[in-house]
Each structure stands twice: as structure tokens, then as C-alpha cells.
Amino acid sequence: MQALRRTLLPFVGFALVIALWWLTAVSGVVGERNLPTPAAVLDAGWTGLTTPDGLLVDIRLSVLRVLIGVVVGCALSLPLGFLLAWFPTTRAMFDPIVSFCRALPPISLSPLVIIYLGIGEDARLFVLIWAAFFASVVVLYEGIAAVDDIYVRAGRALGASEFEIFRRVIVPATVPQMFVAVRVALGVSWATLVAAELIAAQRGPGWSIQRAASFFRTEDVYAGIILIGFSALLMDMGVRLVQRRAVSWQERVVR
Amino acid sequence: MTGDISNARISFDDVRVGFGAGKKRKEVIDGVSFDLGPGEFVSVLGPSGCGKSTLLNMAAGFPATDSGEVRFDGERITRPESRRGVVFQQYAIFPWLTVEKNIAFGLTLKSNRRSRSEIDETVRRYIDLMGLGGFEKALPKELSGGMRQRVALARAYATDPDVLLLDEPFAALDAQTREFMQELLHEASRAERRATLLITHSVEEAIYLSHRIVVLGNRPTSVHEVIDVDVPWPRTPQSRLQPEFLEVRGHLEGVMRPLSGSTLRKAQT
């Protein structure tokens, strides 16, 4: 029963939002041109996806970009996060720099990136990797700092060396946080990518939204936005699925 | 009864701990001395906030002493090592490892590495001693508080320590589980015969388990008195009703009441 509710309720949530949207669109308070009905958007999305060289190509391109950005960004941030958080010296030294770079909106780098790397794929990937790296390194870093000291002390009392404490206590204790780091990186990467595509790109869903808007095809704009949302949601669900298996030991607060 | 200095396993020698320096220095522990002999079970009993856990941490090797020293087999303790096993008040078994992997943990470290078959044998032995049969593959999240502490005890025993240091291991458990755990620990320590230092604020627990009880006073803490517990050995649930038990209990409760009261008053002001 509980499980059924948990699987059904998200759909109920979606259904409610769609119903509200439909009512608003049909009532005409915002004008038919401004707010298309869900059916029109579905139709536009379907057409977009099925046209050769259409939305499907755009979305595939973005998914690939985000994947590369997150994979490379997290591959760099995992070892560096541990390094930064574990040694007090490196932590003290790099803490402010990491915070600075994290606070910096990645998109603000694009003018510089364009100067150095041009406007090609390299530039976009650089910005994405940057975004994924700093988003995840901070989460990881906080996670390592938050490992309960009691486990470290228990490990030491059992005779663990400094390296064994790291490898057999700190690393496993931080695994849940690694997944959080990947999920945060995914979110930030999607946001950054679409923003970048809105400004300057040859292809991608951001670009197609921008183009549809300039022709005032609102149903295409909506279809693009929803498609981006679902792609991001699916990727997040994928990570959560792996997470649930990998950290089944984790105690969760049940409400 | 007091262990001879030369063969004491752990000896506290005029241990002092304080905060601040010079005139502003405030002593928290003000000259505590006592010994833990081989095979002896000693409880340190004191009101909360008197610094008894600090003493245990020193014996474990976590922080160094300010002055005076804690020695283990005659040598000054400077760092933790597996020859002194520790069980904490908080649940400190690793949540990502199963019961048997938690117990085996110490034996898979470089400093204490054993062969696979030796590890299996040891794990089996302590699973049985602690009544954990059937839970070998369970994760800590599936265990009750009492079971978790049994795993913690088994894990501490498994590395074959010379001394066991227990920091209020049952303080977070409900009254019934506590009594059961005391009985289990008593049976285990009779079978194991390892020198054990137990920190507790429970008079009943101290009497049930110990050969000797070191009663600490208020801050600045010093040894208030040392009592030999003459309740016949081995102890059983019936021991709690024996006249010797009740007599020591009456005495200790009389001693502890004013001590705890004044800590409370101090905390309130």
C-alpha cells in the first residue's frame, strides 16, 4: 500500500499541474497564442521529435554534453575533494579558492572561454566540466568533513593506520555524499548548458527554444522546455537508482 | 587488592587536566591515580560531567595528558592501538559493514592481519559469545541498540586486546536491555579474563560487573574513594538481591547523591 502510494503520487502531482495548465489555457485568460494547451504542446513535441534532424538530435546532443561534463568533472572532483578535505594544510589553503570558484556562475566565464577556446564544442565542454567540478567538489568536501569522528576513533582504536582510516573508514562513509555530489553536478550542468545554448549555439534544445521563440511558436518553446526537464529528471532518477543499490546500508529517516 | 604498580596493565599516575594557562587555568581533573591489574574489572563511577570519559580517552590514547601520565604495561600511552580495545557510548560500529565484517575489521588491518581461516574462527567465536548467531550478514541499521553494542564488544574482543576500555557502553539503552547487557558482559568477561575498565554513572552496573570501583568526586575531579566489591563471584541476576550487593549499593548511592546534586546545582547556576 505504502509502495503503491509512493509510485502513484508523483503521477497524481503531474496530472494536477497538467489539469490546471489545461484549464488556464482553455479559459483563454492569457490568450491562446501565449499559452498553448497541453495537447498542442504534446503534438508539437511529437512532431519535433519525429522530424528528421529535429528535437531528438538536439536533445541527444545535450545529453551527451552533460554526460561528458559530469563524468569528467566528477572524475576530477572525487580525488581532489578527498585531497582537499583530508589534509588540514590543503584544506586551509584551498578552501577560499574553492568557495570563490563555486560562487562564480559558470556562464560568466563564457566570454573568456570564447576568447581562449573559440565557440566550438571545446568551449562548451570546458564550461560544463568547470560547473560540474566545482558543484561536486564542494558537496564532497562537506561530506568528508562531516564524517562522524566516532568512526575514525573506532578505526584507530582497532589499529588502523592513517591510510587505512582513509581508505576503509572515510571513503566508504562518504559514498552517499558522492552520489549527492553527482546529482548536484547533473543539475548544475543542465542549467549551465541550456543557458549557454540560449546565448550561442548551433544546435541543442536551448537553441531550438530560442529559435521557436523568435518565430513566436510557443508550443515549441513549451515542448523544448519540458523535454529538457524530463531529460534531466531521467538522468537524476538513474543516479538515484544506482545510489539506492550502492548505499543500501544507509539509515534513512522514515516519516 | 590494589594492583601492584609493577604488574598493573593500566596505571593512572597523578593525572591532571585543565583549560587555560597561568592564573586563568581551571583544573577539571585534579590528580587522579589508580591502577587496573591483569584480569581485573574496574569501574570508574562518577557524576556526569566529572571527566570520567576524559580518563578513558587518555587510556585509549586519544588526547595526551596535560600532566601526570597514563601508562600501559609501564609505558606512557601516546596513541591508540589495538592492544587496548575501546567500546564507545555512541553506536560506533561501521554502518556500511555487516555484523561479521564489523567484527573482522580489526583483523584485516595491517597492524593485526590474520589469515582468512583465523579470522573466520575468531568471528564465529565472538558471534557466539555475544549471542549474535543468525545476524552475521545483517547491517547495523537492522539491529537494535543493544545488538549494536554487542557487535561493538565483539569487534573490540576480536583483536585480542590486553585491556578493554568501555565508555558507558549501555548508557543509551533502556533499563531492561541494560540489565541483560550487564549479564552478558559479565559472562563474556569471565570467559575472556581481560583487564577491563568500565566508565559508568550507574551504581548498579558498577557493582554487578566489578572487582573494584573507583568513585570520582566533583570538579575539579579527584578520586573520592576506592571500593572493593565483595559480592560473590560469579554474579547472577540473583546477586542484585544479595545483602552484600545491597549494602555496597546503599553506601554508593549515599556517596553519589550529594556528588550528583552539587554538579546539578553548579550546572544550573
Question: Closest by alpha carbon to B204, among B241, B173, B169?
Answer: B241
Opening angle at CA A161, ends A159 and A167, nearest 5: 115
In a domain, B140, yes or no: yes
> Which one of A157, A161, A247 has the shortest CB-CB distance to B86?
A157
- Within a domain: residue B145? yes
Interface confidence (ipTM) of the complex: 0.88
Q: Is residue B8 domain-resident?
A: no
Give a yes or no: residue B100 inside a domain: yes
Q: Label residues B104-115 b or e (16+ Cβ within 10 Å = b).
A: bbbbbbeebebe
Domain assignment of residue B107, yes or no = yes
- Residue to substitute from A147, A150, A158, interface B, most B β-carbons within 10 A: A158
Contact A158 B105 (CB under 8 A): yes
CA distance B162 to B160: 7
Q: Which domain holds residue B136?
A: 94-160
The pTM (predicted TM-score) of the whole model is 0.83
* Least CB–CB distance from B92: residue in A150, A168, A250: A150
* Distance of alpha carbon A217 from alpha carbon A42, whole angstroms: 13
Strands (E), B37-102: 41-45, 67-72, 75-76, 84-87
- Domains identified in chain B, total number: 1
Minimum mean pLDDT among A30-44, A146-160, B83-97: which range? A30-44
Is A167 an interface residue toward B (CB < 8 Å)?
Answer: no
Quick one: CA dihedral B240, B245, B247, B252, positive or negative?
A: negative
| pLDDT surpasses 50 at A12 | yes
CB A161 within 8 A of CB B111: yes
For range B67-88, the mean pLDDT: 88
The answer to whether B84 faces chain A, any CB pair under 8 Å, is yes
Q: What is the mean pLDDT of chain B?
A: 87
| Cross-chain Cβ contact A150/B90 below 8 Å | yes
Residue B120 domain-assigned (yes or no):
yes
Evaluate whether residue B103 is within a structural domain: yes
C-alpha cell at B107: 583483523
Tell me, yes or no, if B160 comes closer than 8 A to chain A by beta carbon.
no
CATH topology of domain A36-245: MetI-like fold (1.10.3720)
Q: Which of A111-120, B45-54, B115-124, B220-229 has the highest mean pLDDT?
A: B115-124
Q: Over 60: is that where the pLDDT of B5 sits?
A: no
The pLDDT assigned to B67 comes to 67
The pLDDT assigned to A193 comes to 86
Beta-carbon contacts of residue B134 (< 8 Å; ≥ 6 apart): none
When mean pLDDT is compared across A142-151, A221-230, B60-69, the lowest value belongs to B60-69
Q: Assess if residue B99 is contained within a domain.
A: yes
Distance CA A56, CA A53 (A): 7
Q: What per-residue confidence (pLDDT) applies to A26?
A: 86
Instruction: Give the start-to-end residue ranges of the domains of chain A.
Output: 36-245
Checking if the pLDDT of B130 tops 50, the result is yes
Q: Look at B224 and B124; give whichever has higher pLDDT.
A: B124
Q: How far is CA B251 from the centre of its chain?
A: 22
